[in-house]
C-alpha cells in the first residue's frame, strides 16, 4: 500500500476548485484533474505538435504527446521514491504543455513578438488559459475547473525555456510562494525527458554523430559503462537505448538523493515546514547540474541550431506570421467559435488562441490552402 510522506500534498489540504462542484464517485481531486486533462481536446492535439522536428518529418520522432508521457513517467519515478502525491504529479505533468503552439518554440516566439504590446504569448500561461477558459465541456463554467494545486503547478512551471509573466494572477496564486514538491519535480522531469529523448531523435535523424557525443562527459561515461556491461552486443541501437536509459536513471537518482539531503538540511518534517521555509528543495547536485548544462549546450550547438532544423524554423515562422496576417485581415475565415470571442478578448488574442490550438499538420494545411494560389 503506497503511503504519502508528511511533506507531500495531501488531498485533504487542497484549496479546492475555483467553481465548487459536487462529486459522487470515489476519485480523488487530483485523479479527477488527471482524467479531465486526458479527455480534453488540447491533450489529444499534442500527438500532432512537434518537439524539434515538424510532425510530418517522420513517425519515429517525439511529439508533444510522447514528450508529455515521458515527463509523467520520469516525474512519477522521482515522486514515488520521495513519497509524494503521484496523482497530483500526473495531473501537472500531463497538462504542462497544453498551451504549446504548432512548430514548437518557433511558433511561440512568433506569437510572442506579434503580441508584444498586448501581453505577449508564453506557453505555460497559455496552458493555464486552456484549462481555465478555452476548453468548453461544462455548462456551468468555462475550462476544466481543475484543483488549485494543479493550476499552481502549471502557472509556476519553470525551466530554462520558460519565462512566464503571471503578475496578474498574484491575487489567485501567491507568486512568491514556492509551489509543492510535486510541482517542483515536473520542472526537472521536463528537462530530463527532452535532453535524453533529443539524443535519440538526433542520432536517428543523423543530426548528431556518435563520435561527437563523446565530447559530453556524462554521455561518454555512461556509454563506456554500457559497453562494459554488454560486451558481446554489437547492435548500436541497443547500446544507444541502454545508454540513454542509464543517463535518465543517473539524473533521476541524483535528484532523489539531493532532495533527500535538502529535506534533512532544512529540517522539513511536514507540509507546513515546506511552506514556511519557502525554498526549492528539489534540485540536482552541483555535479549533475554541470553535466546537464554541458549536455544542453552540446544539443544547442549540434542539433537545435543545425541547418536542417533552422530551415524548418524559417518555414514555420513564415507560416505563423502569414496565418496571423490572414486572420487579422479576414476574421470571418476563422471558425465561428473563435469569431464570437473577438468582441470579448480582442482580435489579436483570439487569433493567438486559434493558431496555438492548431497542430503542425493543420497549420501547414491552412497555410497552403490560403496561400497556394488555388480557389
Tell me, what CATH number does 120's domain have?
1.10.3210.10
Residue 69 lies in a domain: yes
Residue 340 lies in a domain: no
Name the DSSP letter for residue 97: T
Structural domain count, the chain: 1
Coil, helix or strand for 280?
A: coil
User: What's residue 336's pLDDT?
Assistant: 96
Q: What is the pLDDT of residues 272-317, one digit of tens each?
A: 999 999 899 999 999 999 999 999 999 999 998 899 888 988 999 9
Coil, helix or strand for 147?
A: strand
User: What's residue 2's pLDDT?
Assistant: 84
User: What's residue 55's pLDDT?
Assistant: 46
Residue 14 lies in a domain: no
**Who's near 304: CB < 8 A, 6+ residues apart?**
52
Nearest 5°: the CA angle 26, 30, 33 is 100
Residue 66 lies in a domain: yes
- How far apart (Å, rounded) are the C-alpha atoms in residues 184 and 31? 19
Residue 372 lies in a domain: no
Mean pLDDT value across the chain: 92
Q: Across residues 48-76, what is the average pLDDT?
A: 80
Residue 145 lies in a domain: yes
Mean pLDDT lowest among 47-51, 283-287, 345-349: 47-51
The verdict on pTM exceeding 0.85 is yes
Look-up: residue for cell 520521495?
A: 82
- How far apart (Å, rounded) are the C-alpha atoms in residues 112 and 356? 11
Q: What is the pLDDT of residues 20-37, one digit of tens each?
A: 888 888 899 999 999 999
Beta bridge partners of 63: 50
Q: What is the pLDDT of residues 321-335, one digit of tens each?
A: 999 999 999 999 999
User: What's residue 176's pLDDT?
Assistant: 84
Count the neighbouring beta carbons within 10 Å of the beta carbon of residue 20.
Answer: 8
H helices of the chain, in order, are 29-38, 41-45, 64-82, 86-95, 104-114, 123-129, 148-155, 181-204, 210-213, 217-229, 236-265, 271-277, 286-299, 307-329, 336-339, 342-345, 347-357, 360-371
Segments forming the whole domain that contains residue 237: 28-310
Residue 284 lies in a domain: yes
Amino acid at each position: 500500500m503506497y503511503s504519502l510522506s508528511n511533506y507531500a500534498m495531501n488531498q485533504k489540504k487542497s484549496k479546492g476548485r475555483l467553481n465548487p462542484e459536487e462529486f459522487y464517485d470515489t476519485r480523488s481531486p487530483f485523479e479527477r484533474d488527471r482524467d479531465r486533462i486526458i479527455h480534453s481536446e488540447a491533450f489529444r492535439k499534442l500527438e500532432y505538435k512537434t518537439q524539434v522536428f515538424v510532425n510530418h518529418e517522420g513517425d519515429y520522432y517525439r511529439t508533444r504527446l510522447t514528450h508529455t508521457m515521458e515527463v509523467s513517467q520520469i516525474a512519477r519515478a522521482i515522486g514515488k521514491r520521495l513519497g509524494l502525491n503521484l496523482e497530483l504529479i500526473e495531473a501537472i505533468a500531463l497538462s504542462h504543455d497544453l498551451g504549446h503552439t504548432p512548430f514548437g518554440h518557433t511558433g511561440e516566439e512568433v506569437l510572442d513578438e506579434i503580441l508584444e504590446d498586448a501581453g505577449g504569448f508564453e506557453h505555460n500561461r497559455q496552458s493555464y488559459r486552456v484549462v481555465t477558459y478555452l476548453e468548453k465541456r461544462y455548462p456551468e463554467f468555462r475550462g476544466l475547473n481543475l484543483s488549485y494545486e494543479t493550476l499552481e503547478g502549471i502557472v509556476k512551471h519553470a525551466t530554462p525555456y520558460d519565462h512566464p509573466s503571471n503578475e496578474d494572477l498574484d491575487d489567485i496564486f501567491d507568486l512568491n510562494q514556492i509551489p509543492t514538491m510535486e510541482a517542483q519535480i515536473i520542472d526537472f522531469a521536463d528537462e530530463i525527458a527532452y535532453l535524453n529523448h533529443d539524443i535519440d531523435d538526433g542520432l536517428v535523424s543523423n543530426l548528431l554523430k556518435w563520435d561527437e557525443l563523446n565530447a559530453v562527459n556524462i554521455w561518454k561515461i555512461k556509454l563506456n559503462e554500457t559497453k562494459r556491461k554488454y560486451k558481446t552486443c554489437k547492435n548500436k541501437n541497443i547500446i544507444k537505448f541502454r545508454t540513454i536509459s542509464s543517463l535518465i536513471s543517473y539524473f533521476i537518482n541524483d535528484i532523489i538523493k539531493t532532495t533527500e539531503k535538502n529535506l534533512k538540511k532544512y529540517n522539513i518534517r511536514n507540509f507546513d515546514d515546506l511552506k514556511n521555509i519557502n525554498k526549492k528543495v528539489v534540485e540536482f547536485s552541483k555535479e549533475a547540474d554541470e553535466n546537464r548544462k554541458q549536455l544542453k549546450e552540446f544539443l544547442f550547438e549540434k542539433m537545435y541550431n543545425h541547418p536542417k532544423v533552422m530551415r524548418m524554423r524559417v518555414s514555420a515562422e513564415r507560416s505563423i506570421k502569414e496565418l496571423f496576417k490572414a486572420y487579422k485581415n479576414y476574421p470571418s475565415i476563422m471558425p465561428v467559435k473563435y469569431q464570437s470571442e473577438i468582441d470579448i478578448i480582442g482580435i489579436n488574442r483570439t487569433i493567438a488562441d486559434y493558431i496555438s490550438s492548431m497542430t503542425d499538420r493543420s497549420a501547414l494545411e491552412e497555410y497552403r490552402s490560403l496561400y497556394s494560389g488555388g480557389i
